[in-house]
Amino acid sequence: MDALVSRRDFLKASAGAAGSLVLAVHLPGLAAVAHSFSPSAFVTVGSDGLVTLTMPYVEMGQGTYTSIPMLVAEELEVDLSQVRTAHAPADPAYRHGLFGVQLTGASASIRAAWMPLRQAGAAARTMLVQAAAKQWNVDPASCKAVRGEVVHAASGRKLAYGALAADAAALPVPKDVALKPAGSYALVGKPAKRTDTPSKVNGTAKFGIDAVVPGMKVAAIAACPVFGGKLAKVDDHKALKVKGVRKVVRLDNAVAVIADHTGAARKGLAACAITWDEGSNNGFSSAAWEQKLASAGKEKGLVVHDEGGYAKVAGGAGRKVEAVYTMPFLAHATMEPMNATARVGKDGVDIWTGTQAPERLQIFVGKALGIAPASVRVHNQLLGGGFGRRLEVDVAVQAALVARQVDYPVKLIWSREEDIQHDYYRPFWRDELAAVLDEGGMPVAFSHRFAGSSIEARYAPEWMAKGIDTDAVEQAEGPYNIPARFVEYMPVETSVPTGFWRGVGPTHNIFVVESFIDELAHTAGKDPVAYRQALLNKNPRALAVLNLAAQKSGWATRKPGPGEGFGVSVGTAWGSFAAAVLECVVSKEGAVTVKRVVTAIDCGQPVNPDGVVAQAESGQVYGLTAALYGKLTVENGRIMQSNFHDYPLMRMNEMPVMETHIVPSTESPGGMGELGTALIAPALANAVFAATGKRLRSLPLEPGPV
């Protein structure tokens, strides 16, 4: 990215309020060159000296409201506390260069912002220094920017940025501004306190669910439990007798009860006698789906990767190893249940919600109501977890359809049951792996063929390349130096809606590849770490994290007790590299306890190292939950699980010791929101194998009695 986009492509002065300096910043895509200038973030230095960063990246826990302002503050020479962060409105101006729409995800925020926001800070600082030098009639080179002021040391004069902003705004944006060299940063690379923590410890942080709009009522909703089904009829006479219930609203596929408070709305909904028209999907089941994927595996699919003459090598001499893996449908289960507040008026629609995709929300709400997307105003809030779920805008559409039927705003809150049963699920995958080992036990050919539903085909067909879902195939070939590699993808349409889930494509592919590589190592009678080290001879950053994780975990001197096992995995994605060594114990009854995880990360230049560690460990807990418990089953076209009793999430008492080590680096930053998730399931599966001798090829890991 750095080499592709020159400075002039992403920085321009822009008109702002009187007395302020505004720089418009183009946040580029990660691969594309920006040919025309389109600002997607704004840095404003106000006459009060406050710096405001308006940017498209939302805060859903991943720390963007801290790490991204750090980039501006670093070059602008202000404290992080002087930078305010503003939610961007839904507007094409804030489109993500990589995706072509406004969204936060794919561990891409820090990668896209790294160059342009430091450039913006440096340009603003240069202009403020020039403005001061002009006032004092001195050489700008004799002035220095220090913590929000320009200082002329020789004369002892100082001027605060706020007093210089108006003058600075009249100056041309400098053509070339040198960025600080790595190693001379004041903020970047040093642990920073999150800017949002204080509001998150006293209940004042405002999430979408906390929106309060004058005159609003609240609503509870039940949609047809069978995907694609419709509402046939509802008898609401009991519901309407519940104190506080105002109205029962019928949608095509759902019933909503509007009330003065959610207690009444939920009680009213429970009192509705609803008859569903289940439609054509009520025969769908997980078992039938797996059969369908197995059939698809017998067909030819889309060849994604074919190098080293795979067919010829695979047909030649050598020991052949084959295995089939499956992964179930998974819900996101954000702690903040899905919700949106809608006001439908003659002047358009207002939506208050926490969304990863504000522009998509405008488009879909506009379409549902038959109005222009620009008439939909999105008031974005903090997200109580995103994980990909809030890339979908279904609840905002529902809220708008409900609010359209009344003359007051409506806050619609889903129950946890709705959340589990009406998600866009992580796809159910079925993978066929094959390899040929040479006489020394090393793979000379590697094949990964897999079948499952395409998310991109539904969500954004324009992201597909030559008909191939680019997310589904990411990391499917693995990071290893194997002479002949082959990847084939069989997309199969499903009636269960599937969507992006933390870790997306790599969290599927890394589980499969890292488990299978482990199988190959054991088949060859080799140490799993040494086997990987040999295969990473052309991938120095991946090798370095593997070496560090092995060293810090004491891999070489490990002494597992009865029922204990160590497992290793390596993951490379989103511009980052990580390896984990996991220690588990499996009881005779087959209960798996994770004792310790040691992780080594190379995410390039860490911006906020404390945030990197937080994200790595957060991702691992998310991934461990999936590996230990995550399973949704579909029968008769509906999800059989409903809440945390049958879709359990990891809790405090199940936590392992976690040690995370960051490899020092000055490479461009990589994303860290999802790699931990992708990395951890195979480390656990491999540890369970070491502990029990059982190779588990389906998630969640259920070893059974040992």
Partner 1 sequence: MSYVLTINGKQRTVDVDGDTPLLWVLRDVLQMNGTKFGCGMALCGACTVHLNGQPVRSCQTPVSSVGKGKVTTIEAIGETATGKRIQQAWIAHDVPQCGYCQSGQIMSASALLAANPHPTDADIDAAMAGNICRCGTYTRIRAAIKTAAKG
The binding site for partner 1 (CB under 8 A) comprises 60-63, 193-194, 196-207, 209-210, 212, 218, 242-244, 260-264, 266-267, 333-337, 382-387, 413, 415-416, 610, 614, 617-622, 643-645, 649-653, 655, 658
Between 328 and 384, whose beta carbon lies closer to partner 1? Answer: 384
**At its nearest, how many Å lie between partner 1 and the CB of residue 660?**
10
Q: Rounded to the nearest 5°, which phi and psi values hold at 58?
A: -90, 160
**At its nearest, how many Å lie between partner 1 and the CB of residue 658?**
6
Between 170 and 591, whose beta carbon lies closer to partner 1? Answer: 591
- How many DSSP H helices and E strands does the chain contain? 16, 28
Q: What angle do CA 591, 596, 599 make, to 5 degrees?
A: 130
Closest CA to 570 of 493, 436, 682, 469: 682
**At its nearest, how many Å lie between partner 1 and the CB of residue 286?**
24
C-alpha 214, offset from chain centre = 33
**At its nearest, how many Å lie between partner 1 and the CB of residue 260?**
7
Between 244 and 279, whose beta carbon lies closer to partner 1? Answer: 244
Between 337 and 505, whose beta carbon lies closer to partner 1? Answer: 337
**At its nearest, how many Å lie between partner 1 and the CB of residue 62?**
7
Helix intervals (H) in 593-655: 609-628
**At its nearest, how many Å lie between partner 1 and the CB of residue 245?**
10
Q: What angle do CA 88, 507, 424 make, to 5 degrees?
A: 60
Residue indicated by tokens 């488009």: 363
Between 177 and 209, whose beta carbon lies closer to partner 1? Answer: 209
Distance between CA atoms of residues 546 and 544, nearest Å: 5
Closest CA to 657 of 610, 595, 578, 585: 595
**At its nearest, how many Å lie between partner 1 and the CB of residue 449?**
33
Between 260 and 493, whose beta carbon lies closer to partner 1? Answer: 260
Return the exposure string of 637-657: e unless at least 16 CB atoms fall within 10 Å of the residue's CB, then b: bbbbbbeeeebbbbeeebebe
DSSP state of 482: -
**Which residue(s) pair with 582 in the sheet?**
567, 597
**At its nearest, how many Å lie between partner 1 and the CB of residue 686?**
21
**At its nearest, how many Å lie between partner 1 and the CB of residue 265?**
9
| Contact between residue 143 and residue 133 where contact means Cβ atoms under 8 Å apart | yes
**Which residue(s) pair with 302 in the sheet?**
489
SS (H, E, C) 205-232: CCEHHHCCCCCCEEEEEEECCCCCCEEE
Between 314 and 331, whose beta carbon lies closer to partner 1? Answer: 331
Between 415 and 447, whose beta carbon lies closer to partner 1? Answer: 415
| Contact between residue 680 and residue 580 where contact means Cβ atoms under 8 Å apart | yes
**At its nearest, how many Å lie between partner 1 and the CB of residue 460?**
24
**At its nearest, how many Å lie between partner 1 and the CB of residue 396?**
18
Q: Which residues contact 120 (CB under 8 A, 6 or more apart)?
A: 11, 23, 25, 41, 43, 72, 75
Structure tokens at 174: 């400098």
Distance between CA atoms of residues 690 and 658, nearest Å: 20
**At its nearest, how many Å lie between partner 1 and the CB of residue 39?**
28
Strands 51-55 and 83-87: parallel
Give the three-state DSSP class for 691.
Answer: helix
The identity of residue 490, as a single letter, is M
Per-residue CA distances from 238 to 220, 242, 373, 418, 547 (Å): 16, 7, 38, 22, 66
Distance between CA atoms of residues 475 and 505, nearest Å: 7
Distance between CA atoms of residues 43 and 24, nearest Å: 7
DSSP state of 90: S
Residue indicated by tokens 């003459």: 309
Between 356 and 362, whose beta carbon lies closer to partner 1? Answer: 356
Between 479 and 700, whose beta carbon lies closer to partner 1? Answer: 700
| Contact between residue 471 and residue 456 where contact means Cβ atoms under 8 Å apart | yes
* Dihedral angle of Cα 389, 391, 395, 401, to the nearest 10 degrees: -160
Q: What angle do CA 657, 661, 663 make, to 5 degrees?
A: 165
Give the three-state DSSP class for 514.
Answer: helix
Between 261 and 320, whose beta carbon lies closer to partner 1? Answer: 261
**At its nearest, how many Å lie between partner 1 and the CB of residue 32?**
30
The identity of residue 540, as a single letter, is P
Distance between CA atoms of residues 433 and 487, nearest Å: 10
Between 377 and 416, whose beta carbon lies closer to partner 1? Answer: 416
Between 490 and 607, whose beta carbon lies closer to partner 1? Answer: 607
Between 517 and 603, whose beta carbon lies closer to partner 1? Answer: 603
Closest CA to 340 of 351, 324, 331, 325: 351
**At its nearest, how many Å lie between partner 1 and the CB of residue 616?**
10
Sign of the dihedral defined by the CA atoms of residues 146, 151, 153, 157, in that order: negative
Between 553 and 618, whose beta carbon lies closer to partner 1? Answer: 618
Between 18 and 201, whose beta carbon lies closer to partner 1? Answer: 201
**At its nearest, how many Å lie between partner 1 and the CB of residue 31?**
29
Closest CA to 304 of 503, 187, 476: 476
**At its nearest, how many Å lie between partner 1 and the CB of residue 699?**
18
Between 207 and 284, whose beta carbon lies closer to partner 1? Answer: 207
**At its nearest, how many Å lie between partner 1 and the CB of residue 664?**
21
